Amino acid sequence: MIVIRNTLDLESLRRLDGLRGATLRRMFGVNLDDRLMSEDVSLETDDVTITFWGAVDDLDDWEGFEGQYAVLHIDEGVPSVYAESDLAAQDDSSGSGFFVHAGDGIQDVSIVRECVRKVVSGEVEWEYVTDTAVVFELSNGVLAISKAALDGEMLNITFADSWVLLKIPPTGAFWFGWNLMGTEFLRSSELCRLDDML
């Protein structure tokens, strides 16, 4: 059985850890609009700003053909492209960005880890493990930044007033459209505490 892992690296996890205890100020991004979908999104806090951005990578030829797989990156600061649009330089009074839950403290961070298995005639052919969402527990709600698809760079931003109400949109992928006799794709996910991953 082939096992492929596409998960956040230790440096990204440490950046997330550094947000605990900070106060959320706003979210902004080059293409972030009212749909709360974008290839990039920055979280600005009273202490630090980090940027999430999606990309696609071939991740080798483990399926027997070329495919693209969504990779989630987390960097400190803001990308250079922001300077061209002056997004990072604009202050709160400019109206740039989204201020939902602004002023809330970031209390904890969790990761949603998804596993997809290709099963052919009852045997697992491959297993693909990837981190699909980062969930922030806020003092007055919950914020999730998630991959829109397992094979695309778009990210979704989702808010809710509580964990119970949080609905992270399911990730799509090209596999789930296959309809081959004797082949099925099983998916599962788990919520991983950041403390258990560091």
Residues 32-56: tens digit of each pLDDT: 878 888 888 999 999 999 999 888 8
Question: Does residue 71 carry a pLDDT above 50?
Answer: yes
Q: Look at residue 198 and tell me whether its pLDDT is greater than 50.
A: yes
Task: Name the amino acid, one letter, at 170.
Answer: P
Q: Is-contact 16 194, C-beta < 8 A?
A: yes
* Closest to 38 (Cα-Cα) out of 87, 4, 2: 87
Residue 96 has pLDDT above 60, yes or no: no
Residue with tokens 């630090």: 48
Identify the residue whose tokens are 């987390």.
74
Residue type, 77: G
What digits encode the pLDDT tens for the residues 113-161? 999 999 999 999 999 999 999 999 999 999 999 999 998 899 999 999 9
Q: What percent of the chain has pLDDT over 70?
A: 87
Spell out the domain ranges in the chain. Answer: 2-197
Largest CA distance in the chain: 60
Query: Rounded to two decimals, what is the model's pTM?
Result: 0.88
Cα 156 to Cα 149: distance, rounded to the nearest angstrom: 9
